[in-house]
Amino acid sequence: MLAMLLRRLFLGLVTVWIVSMIIFAGVEMLPGDSCTAFLEREAQGKLLENCREAQGLNRPAAERYFDWATSAARGDLGISANGEKSIAELVGDRLGNSLLLAACSLALGVPLAIFLGVVTGLWRDRPVDLAVSTLAIFAMTIPEFVSATVLILIFSVWLGWLPGIVLTSASAPASEFFPEIILPVLVLTMVMTAHILRMVRSSVIEVMVGDYIQMATLKGVPYWRIVFRHALPNALLPAINVVALTIAWLLGGVVVIEVVFNYPGLGRMMIDAISDRDLPVVQAIALIVATVYVCVNLSADILTMFANPRLRTLHMRRG
């Protein structure tokens, strides 16, 4: 068990390490660097030389990668290209805002998805299932910017109930984001609920036809007792991984929603940094998002391992 845990941790670290190399190599391969971006048209001759000298850009790539990676590991993400501000400071507020958005959507979406997933799974092919499953297909396939636009049109343009755009500044405390945050949270919740719900539904269906459920039915165990005591604990296990993937997606992939609602999160900062070619900031955000992704998936794997006795012993046997 412990060996398995350590192995997973080690693999996670290796993945983050490979990500850091991909990010560095990727940025390295792009034409231009932070000096050409900063100096723009004056980027030639002596001026460019001096800038590169000052930022240490003329050292060999391996050496710079080592410097960047070791200081990032210590939490020092460097300085943004066009200012003297530290990236950790710039990213801090934005990361907090993105986490707020993610937390609200998760708090709303996960219980809803599990409830609807169980209901549709138990009443498979009945009207409830058909209605919810059809809605889920719509929610998960329609692009986020489309559903966001439609919701803004309905709730803020036509009905005038909710603000359609976030005007709060990035560093404002969390409480000031209400009620502006409601529409972005709704859009995220819709997409997320649809994904988790489908997963839970198919898992419930699979479990309910299992031998031990039939056995319990034949023994005369009451239906709801079978559902809650025998079926659900097994059916909900796979949901842990989907929730993990969803969290990772919430933090990295909500760029479009942040742009639509003008929400000051990490995603919009990323777009701005890419447009401005502020490469140190791009590198930092990429590394943060990738690390979160790996950590969340890792925790989900470990959680599933602890929660599922079968998986636990399986891994032990394999060594």
Partner 1 sequence: MTVTSAPPQNTRLMRTLSVLRDVVSRPSGAIGLFLVVFHVVLALVSPWIVPYDYKAMNSAMMLTGPEATHWLGTDHLGRDVFTRVLLGGREALLVTGIATPIAVTWGGFVGILFGLIGGRIDEVLMRVVDAFLSLPWILKMLVLIVTFGTGVEVLIPTLAFFYGIPVIRIARAATHDVVARDFVSAARARGHSRMTIIRHELLPNVLDTLMVEGAMRWSWMLLAFSSLSFLGFGVSPPTPDWGLMIADARGFMSFAPWGVLGPVIALSSLIIGINLTADALAKALGIDRAQKAPV
The DSSP-derived string for 28-67 is HHSSS-HHHHHHGGG-SHHHHHHHHHHHTTTS-HHHHHHH
* x/- track of binding to partner 1 for residues 100-139 (CB under 8 A): -------------------------------------xx-
Cα–Cα distances in angstroms (integers) from residue 283 to residues 18, 36, 68, 78, 273, in the given order: 14, 17, 10, 10, 10
Kindly state whether residue 18 participates in binding partner 1, applying the rule CB under 8 A: yes
Phi and psi of 306, rounded to 5°? Answer: -70, -35
Q: What is the 3-state secondary structure (H, E, C) of 143-191?
A: CHHHHHHHHHHHHHHHCCCCCCCCCCCCCCCHHHHCCCCHHHHHHHHHH
Kindly state whether residue 274 participates in binding partner 1, applying the rule CB under 8 A: yes
Q: Where does this chain touch partner 1 (CB under 8 A) — which range of 49-57, 95-103, 277-285, 305-313?
A: 277-285
* x/- track of binding to partner 1 for residues 289-308 (CB under 8 A): xx--xx--------------
9/172 with CB nearer partner 1: 9
Applying CB under 8 A, which of residues 56, 92, 143, 233 lies at the interface with partner 1?
Answer: 143
> Rounded to an integer, what distance in angstroms lies between the CA atom of residue 226 and that of residue 216?
7
104/285 with CB nearer partner 1: 285
Kindly state whether residue 172 participates in binding partner 1, applying the rule CB under 8 A: no
Kindly state whether residue 262 participates in binding partner 1, applying the rule CB under 8 A: no
CA dihedral over 245, 250, 252, 256, signed as positive or negative: positive
> Rounded to an integer, what distance in angstroms lies between the CA atom of residue 77 and that of residue 69?
9
> Rounded to an integer, what distance in angstroms lies between the CA atom of residue 264 and that of residue 249?
17
Q: Where does this chain touch partner 1 (CB under 8 A) — which range of 42-50, 172-180, 274-282, 305-313?
A: 274-282
Count the residues of the shown chain that bind partner 1, applying the rule CB under 8 A.
57
* x/- track of binding to partner 1 for residues 181-220 (CB under 8 A): ----------x---x--xx-xx------------------
Output the smallest distance, CB 132 to partner 1, in A: 13
CA-based R_g, the chain, Å: 24
> Rounded to an integer, what distance in angstroms lies between the CA atom of residue 18 and that of residue 205?
39
Kindly state whether residue 37 participates in binding partner 1, applying the rule CB under 8 A: no
Tokens at 187, concatenated: 């859009």
Bond from prior residue into 179 cis (ω within 30 degrees of 0) = yes
Binding site for partner 1 (CB under 8 A): 11, 14-16, 18-19, 22-23, 26-27, 30-31, 137-138, 140-146, 149-150, 152-153, 157, 191, 195, 198-199, 201-202, 238, 241-242, 245-246, 248-249, 252-253, 255-256, 259, 267, 270-271, 274-275, 277, 282, 285-286, 289-290, 293-294
